[in-house]
Chain A
Amino acid sequence: MIIVNLDVMMAKRKISLNELSEKVGITLANLSILKNNKAKAIRFSTLEAICRVLQCDVADILEYKPL
């Protein structure tokens, strides 16, 4: 399964959910879905924006864990 480590990266960058949602340009509700591992899919554009704002790689946010 795919694990979203957004909270880890946010803690590393010391950025709040509100600030990230403003900078990325997606709603707080959608960002919460992503952060809480409830998302079923993520657009490349969203991923790109998150990586740009958090200055990280895709692998820092997404992780594959075999079941």
Chain B
Amino acid sequence: MLKISKKASVNLSMILSSLFFVGLIAGAVAMPTFVNSIIELVYNPATFPAMDRAICLALAYLILVVCLTANCVIFALLKTVKSDNVFTPKSVSLIRAISWCCFLVGLLFLAVGYYFQLGFLIAFAAMFLGLCIRVVKNVIEQATEIKCENDLTV
């Protein structure tokens, strides 16, 4: 099995995060076309109300903004990992922020589910991911406490 060093792994994650960022920016540009094609796929575009179309677009942009925020937080977290300073309260709050972003995306996809049923499935996946990240946050929080106690043991 391919095994890469710890430093290379962090660098790879940072590159992936950057690529994801570029992808999200590209998504922001292509969003109206994307939303229109999804609407055309499910509904008759001629009868689909303009107001609902606007709501779908707004929801898509909101999801994009939350994803961008989460991506920036992930990048900040990777920077703390790179500087070998991961077990700090700052990292815990960053992970907490990512978890809340997942829950928020889940809620937004719940609203998307009103128009496209697939949204419910994505909402469930996003919320479950949020829950997993929250558990990781709890673990890191406890590890941070143990590390702090260990550091202050002379």
Contacts and interface: CB of A to CB of B under 8 A. Distances in A.
Q: Are A and B physically bound partners?
A: yes
B84 interface: no
Report whether over half of chain B's contact residues are helix, strand or loop; otherwise say mixed: mixed
A39 B148 CA distance: 10
Contacts, number: 23
Contacts of A41: 149, 152-154
Nearest to B148: A40
13 contacts: A30-B154, A33-B152, A33-B154, A34-B154, A39-B152, A39-B153, A39-B154, A40-B148, A41-B149, A41-B152, A41-B153, A41-B154, A42-B154
Given A38-B152, A42-B153, 18 more contacts: A26-B154, A30-B154, A31-B154, A33-B152, A33-B154, A34-B154, A39-B152, A39-B153, A39-B154, A40-B148, A40-B149, A40-B152, A40-B153, A41-B149, A41-B152, A41-B154, A43-B154, A46-B154
